[in-house]
Amino acid sequence: MVRWGGGRYEGAPVTVVTPCQTWHHPDLSLHSQLLSLLLLLLLGPPTTSGMEDPTFPHLGESLQPPPRACPLRCSCPRADTVDCDGLDLRVFPHNITREAQQLSLQNNQLQELPYNELSRLSSLRTLNLHNNRISSEGLPDEAFESLTQLQHIYVAHNKLSVAPQFLPPSLRVVDLAANQVTEIFPLTFGEKPELRSVYLHNNQLSNAGLPPDAFHGSEAITTLSLSNNQLSYLPPSLPPSLERLHLQNNLISKVPRGALSRQTHLRELYLQHNQLTDSGLDATTFSKLHHLEYLDLSHNQLAAVPAGLPRTLAVLHLGRNRIQQVEAGRLRGARGLRYLLLQHNQLGAAGLPAGALRPLRGLHTLHVYGNRLERVPLALPRRLQSLVLPHNRVTALGAHDLAAMPGLAELNLAYNRLASARVHHQAFRPLRALRTLDLAGNQLTRVPTGLPAHLHILRLQRNQLRTLEPEPLAGLDQLRELSLAHNQLRVGNIEPGTWHELRALQVLDLSHNHLSFVPPDLPEALEELHLQSNRISYVGPEAFLSTPSLRVLFLRANKLHMTSIAPEAFLGLPHLRVVDTTGNPEQVLIQLPPTAPHQPRTGGP
């Protein structure tokens, strides 16, 4: 008799034979007996209970590996990832696996990092401590010594008063923003050949807290953010590899000569909200920046455009300075400029002399709103596409004032002093590419004539319009949006046929006028109609027969009563979604067409 124990045969499945079952039977043929004997020889002698293979699974044992250790309440979605985000932890968690490469402890209440726990985690590549309460006292000097593979460390929004004295040379990204850091050390960021990005904004760093060799040996840094600190001059010895440098919201009054001479790869430089004056810059300050594309000097105290601007510059932001005049010579070198922003300066009648911007042949956008200009600047670049000139003192438009800009697509002259009598009837005719015209907030008493046929948006709100005639709007068959709000229009002064050629008009704003009922024969394509704050007391059954595409209707703050809207008024408006009647003397009853797919939103007083 052969009794099988708990052994196994590695080469093929084993058929288990129950105890006391014999393998010899009188009915077996000789051939079968020989095969059985051969099988027994191949399997070897039967294993006894004392010879069991310890690796063989016994009854009640599982083939699954034991569960991974994971700190209490944390999650470990992968063997190398531990996520303890937002658990209100006050103590560094225990039982973190040594194999962890990604550890997130952000949004907790940690005040210190125990060295003995952190030093175990030598495989860490990313450590996220964002938004805790860690102080410099709670961060040992040797805290990160053993983290030789660390690449990303985030300690922003904590309570550090000084930066860590040593960070691993393997780092690529360091974020210490939004602390109270007043000092960094040579090996905080120095001697890190892989370092790419350093974020130190929203701290309390002064120039005294930045050592001269702060970035020595870290020749790959491309992004450095020092904004919202207390720097009084541009720090020397910045990495020559920089591509983006953020220094906004400091106390910088001077860029020392040569401070940017090595940063030839710099593409973006942010110096807005400082205390820069003309004497704090010189002709060489920016001249070596042969890759500079974006320069923001807004919110300073400059009285002139800086000299020596590089030809690669695409965006120059000089808004909210004290510039009184733009000298042509100052921009001659920046021939690649695309966007020039000069808003809220002190540019007067001679602030932009004729031809001052002519060298900027590729200029796309000119912003000069909030100055004291009395006319549209002459001889602007022919390729200009956007001229933004609101809140100036422009009183007139001559026949040729805009003729030099045939490619202009956007013209904003809102909130100037334009009167209809001083706008030439052909002033806008040369602007064949114009798509948006904003004349809001002027002193116009009629719609200007000669408007470009391809106009899409026309804004005339807050003027002194009393009448509407068909002629100025004739031919505007591509107009999509027309704002006539805050004027003095009455229905009787809107002449028949006024809307006839506005076949594409989708949005019409007639709010804040003196309308006593809905104007007739509105454009067929209309989808949004603003009639709020008029004197409408009745809406008849045929009010919207011409506007089958209407989706949104504003009738609030009129003189409507409960039954002021005829029951048939909204028949034939299958797309209507919103009817706003709030702010009327009484709650208005609205009867909706049965075909309306959704119940429009209505309102009472």
Q: What are the φ/ψ torsions at residue 39 (nearest 5 degrees)? A: -60, -40
pLDDT tens by residue, 438-463: 999 999 999 999 999 999 999 999 99
Query: What percent of the residues of the chain are helix, what percent strand, and what percent coil, each to the nearest 5?
Result: 5, 15, 80
Asked whether the CA dihedral 78, 81, 84, 90 is positive or negative, the reply is positive
What per-residue confidence (pLDDT) applies to 602?
A: 53
Confidence check: pLDDT of 62 > 70: no
Residue 125: predicted pLDDT: 98
- Spatial CB neighbours of 252, under 8 Å, sequence gap ≥ 6: 231, 232, 233, 234, 271, 274, 275, 276, 280
The Cα-based distances of 339 to 364, 383, 385, 388, 407 in angstroms read 6, 12, 10, 11, 15
Average pLDDT for 547-560 = 97
Q: Select from 362, 403, 408 the least CA-distant residue to 389.
A: 408
∠440-513-493 over CA atoms, to 5°? 100
Q: State residue 383's pLDDT score.
A: 95
3-state helix/strand/coil string of 538-602: CECCCCCCCCCCCCEEECCCCCCCCCCECCCCCCCCCCCCEEECCCCCCCCCCCCCCCCCCCCEC
How far, in whole angstroms, is CA 136 from its chain's centroid?
Answer: 33
Render pLDDT for 494-511 as a digit per residue (tens, 0 to 9).
Answer: 999 999 999 999 999 999
Of residues 491 and 61, more confidently modeled: 491
pLDDT score, position 63: 47
Higher pLDDT, 159 or 600: 159
**pLDDT range class, residue 68, cuts 50, 70, 90:** low
Segment 290-318 mean pLDDT: 97
Q: How confident is the model at residue 21 (pLDDT cuts 50, 70, 90)?
A: very low
Q: How far apart are CA 279 and CA 255, in angstroms?
A: 9
Per DSSP bridges, beta strands 386-388 and 365-367 are parallel
* Model pLDDT, residue 590: 86
Q: Which residue has the tokens 């906004």?
A: 248
List the beta strands (DSSP E) in 406-562. Answer: 410-412, 436-438, 457-459, 481-483, 507-509, 528-530, 552-554
Interatomic CA distance for residues 575 and 258, integer angstroms: 65
Burial readout 195-208 (b: 16 or more C-beta within 10 A, e: otherwise): bbbbbbbbbebebe
Given a cut of 80, whether residue 187 has pLDDT beyond it is yes
What pLDDT sits at residue 66? 55
Count of Cβ atoms closer than 10 Å to residue 563 Cβ: 11
Give burial (CB, 10 Å; 0-12/13-18/19+) of 66: exposed
Mean pLDDT of 275-279: 97
Q: Residue 8's pLDDT is what?
A: 32
How many whole angstroms from its chain centre is CA 183? 31
Residue from 308, 345, 307 nearest 324 by CA: 345
Which residues, other chains included, contact 524 with Cβ-Cβ below 8 Å and sequence gap of 6+? 503, 546, 547, 548, 549
Please state the rounded mean pLDDT for residues 454-483: 97
pLDDT at 595: 57
SS (H, E, C) 239-290: CCCCCEEECCCCCCCECCCCCCCCCCCCCEEECCCCCCCHHHCCCCCCCCCC
Q: For residue 469, with 0-12 CB atoms within 10 Å meaning exposed, 13-18 middle and 19 or more buried, which class applies?
A: middle
H helices of 444-506, where? 470-473
How confident is residue 69, by pLDDT bands cut at 50, 70 and 90?
A: confident
Choose among 178, 285, 165, 163: nearest CA to 227.
178
Q: Which residue has the higher pLDDT, 561 or 592?
A: 561
This prediction's pTM: 0.84
Tell whether the model's pLDDT for residue 142 goes beyond 80: yes
- Is the pLDDT confidence value at 54 over 90? no
